[in-house]
Each structure stands twice: as C-alpha cells, then as structure tokens.
C-alpha cells in the first residue's frame, strides 16, 4: 500500500509536471520565424525568396524559417497542371493554415513573410484581405493572418502590385496582372510591407523583360534586409 507521504509526493510531482513542460515549450519558440513562398514553377522550397530568407536567418542568430507548401503552378505539366488561379487559392489557404498553426503555438515569436511573385500574391492575400477577385478568391474564402504577430512582409514581383501604395519600392507605375482595385491597400499593415517592382517587369508591372522579374533578390535583397531589421 502507498503511504500518505508517498501519495503526497506523487501528487506534488504531477502538479509541477505541466508548468515545467509549458516552460520547455516556450523556450523552444524562436525569437523570429520566417515564412517563405516561392514563385511559379520553382521547385518546392523557398525559390527566389530563399536569398532574402537566408539573409534574415544569418542576421538573427536563433531565428528559424519554413517554406509554404503549395503548387506554385501556372498550368504547366511540371507542377501538376494546376491552374494559376487554383494554385493561388490553394497557396492562400496554405499560408493561413501554416501561419495560424505556428502563431498559436508561439504567440510571442516575431513573424516575417518573404514572398516572390506568386509567393508574394498568396502572402498579400492572407495578410491584406479583401480577396483576390481576378483569381476567383473571395475575402471570406481567403481567411486572414492579420491578427498574428507579423512584423514585416517582403513582396517581390507581386502580381497584386498597385500603383501608389505607400509601401511600393521600384520604378513601376502600372498595376500587376492581378492588381488590387485602385486605392485598396493593406490597411494597418502598410508600414510593415515593402513591395518591390520595376517598370520592365511583365508580371507585377506592364513591361516585357522577364529577367527584371527574376532579379529582385539581387537588386533589392540588402534593402529588404535593412527594412526587416528595422521592424524587429
């Protein structure tokens, strides 16, 4: 039979187990966590967003990162033939799911978003809301990550680029092929975004030089890091 002293000891051990476990979980949460999303047709992972993700990781010891898992497709057979619109819809849903899951486990962790091309579009949809009507995505279907601890968002070559937004960087003076309606920016998150787009880009602007679209990590990577650092 158990003695009174042993029962007391067992009860005490049980009472302290949960707080210790919770403390361990809290210590496991990084100070900074980065979500990256690749461009159309890029292989699974970060794609061209990886260059900026790596800069942030290198600048902040102990920070962590993960890539959004989604088709990143535009109808090509190499990515399963998923249409661009369907890929954007799946990607936006994936962003909301991934960020929500992480933020609920680590609510104090500072979150950074780094998207490239279609990867920017899905982050833009999930953070800024209002849906993505050109891709068949309503605001109610898109979901939102706006309530979480997001400190900075980098959009490179975002097809939702809108002329005159306060967070724009670059030479583009036209909207992207999936641009937001005039005047529809990102509300309270304007100060946390940098959206990079130059005039020659045929996807976030109305140019005809695909090389411009592919060059933002090299052209603006250091500026993006400086901006992110200023928000952390």
pLDDT in tens, 106-154: 999 999 999 999 999 999 999 987 788 899 888 777 778 888 999 999 9
**Active-site residue, from 124, 178, 198, 213:** 213
Which is higher by pLDDT, 24 or 151? 151
pLDDT in tens, 159-207: 999 988 899 999 999 999 999 877 677 877 889 999 999 999 999 999 9
What's the longest Cα–Cα distance across the chain?
A: 84
Asked if residues 187 and 130 have their Cβ atoms less than 8 Å apart, the reply is no
Distance from CA of residue 68 to its chain's centroid? 8
pLDDT over 90 (residue 90): yes
Indicate the Cα dihedral angle 74, 80, 83, 86, nearest 10°: -110
33 in catalytic set: no
pLDDT at site 11? 42
pLDDT at site 12? 42
Question: Exposed (0-12), middle (13-18) or buried (19+): which is 7, by Cβ within 10 Å?
Answer: exposed
Instruction: Report whether CATH 3.40.50.1820 matches the domain 32-230.
Output: yes
201 in catalytic set: yes
- Bridge partners of 35, per DSSP, are 66, 113
pLDDT at site 164? 87
Asked if residues 130 and 160 have their Cβ atoms less than 8 Å apart, the reply is no
pLDDT at site 138? 82
- Bridge partners of 132, per DSSP, are 137
Kindly indicate the confidence band of residue 24, based on its pLDDT and cuts at 50, 70 and 90.
very low
pLDDT at site 27? 54
**Active-site residue, from 124, 158, 198, 201:** 201
pLDDT at site 13? 41
**Active-site residue, from 63, 117, 120, 179:** 117
Q: Average the pLDDT over 2-30 and give the result.
A: 48
Instruction: Count CA atoms within 13 Å of residue 13 on its CB side.
Output: 6
Length of the chain: 232
pLDDT in tens, 36-82: 999 999 999 999 999 999 999 999 999 999 999 999 999 999 898 99
Q: What percent of the chain has pLDDT over 70?
A: 88
Domain ranges of the chain: 32-230
């Amino acid at each position: 039979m158990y003695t009174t002293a042993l029962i007391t000891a067992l009860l005490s051990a049980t009472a302290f187990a949960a707080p210790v476990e919770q403390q361990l979980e809290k210590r496991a949460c990084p100070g900074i966590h980065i979500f990256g999303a690749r461009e159309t047709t890029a292989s699974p992972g970060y794609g061209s967003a990886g260059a900026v993700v790596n800069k942030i990781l290198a600048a902040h010891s102990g920070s962590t990162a993960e890539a959004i898992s989604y088709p990143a497709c535009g109808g090509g057979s190499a990515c399963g033939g998923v249409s661009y619109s369907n890929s954007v819809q799946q990607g936006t849903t994936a962003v909301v799911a991934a960020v929500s899951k992480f933020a609920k486990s680590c609510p104090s962790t500072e979150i950074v978003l780094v998207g490239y091309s279609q990867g920017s579009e899905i982050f833009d949809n999930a953070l800024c809301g209002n849906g993505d009507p050109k891709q068949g995505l309503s605001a109610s279907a898109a979901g939102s990550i706006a309530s979480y601890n997001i400190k900075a968002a980098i959009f490179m070559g975002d097809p939702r680029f809108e002329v005159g937004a306060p967070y724009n960087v670059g030479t583009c003076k036209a909207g992207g092929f999936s641009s937001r309606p005039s005047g529809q920016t990102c509300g309270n998150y304007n100060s946390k975004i940098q959206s990079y787009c130059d005039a020659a880009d045929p996807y976030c602007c109305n140019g005809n030089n695909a090389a411009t679209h592919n060059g933002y990590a090299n052209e603006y990577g250091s500026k993006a890091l400086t901006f992110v650092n200023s928000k952390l």
